[in-house]
Amino acid sequence: MAEADYIDDEECSELIKPRKLLNPVKTSKNHQDLHRELIINQKRGIAPQNKPELQRVMEQRKRDLVVKQKKEEEGLKRSDLEQELMKRQQRLDQMEQEKLEAVERQGNAPQCVKMKDNLRRTRYVEGSGDVEVS
């Protein structure tokens, strides 16, 4: 059998021995004091007054989500009057949009198309002989 190549302590006195690195946060005086205080409070049964920041943020998000859902539910429970007013407003907006598009199309149209549209709008009213523009 082959012998293992172990390094004796006597032979490697010149080599640097590995050591575990120290965590600068844990070695700081503030961290040690805070940790000691938390342990004492836990033994006494006193809960820390301030919640961790992550927990506060998560609770705030949950509250915001609940408020948003309540607002959406209220929006869905509109009365008949509100629904009719919304429909009317949508129709008015649509009509206004159509008018703007018609004006834009008419502005870009050649002169002969404009004249043709004017002729369509005018019509002869029978009996009176007057021309009515609608």
Q: How is the chain split among helix, strand and coil, in percent rounded to 5?
A: 65, 5, 35
The ranges assigned to domains in the chain are: 80-122
Our CA dihedral for 49, 54, 56, 57, rounded to 10 degrees, sits at 160
**Confidence band, pLDDT 50/70/90 cuts, at residue 125:** very low
Q: Report the predicted TM-score, pTM, of the whole model to 2 decimal places.
A: 0.29
**Tens-place pLDDT, residues 55-101:** 888 899 999 999 999 988 877 777 788 889 989 999 999 999 998 88
Q: Which amino acid is at 70?
A: K
Coil, helix or strand for 113?
Answer: helix
Average pLDDT over residues 6-13: 60
Average pLDDT, the chain: 79
Our CA dihedral for 92, 95, 100, 102, rounded to 10 degrees, sits at -170
DSSP 1-33: -PPP-PPPTTTTTTSPPP-PPPPHHHHSHHHHH
Structure tokens at 114: 């404009």
**Confidence band, pLDDT 50/70/90 cuts, at residue 41:** confident
Average pLDDT over residues 112-131: 65
Residue with tokens 């008419």: 106
Structure tokens at 65: 């989500």
Residue with tokens 């609770």: 59
Average pLDDT over residues 11-35: 84
Which one is predicted more confidently, 25 or 68? 68
> What pLDDT is recorded for position 131?
53
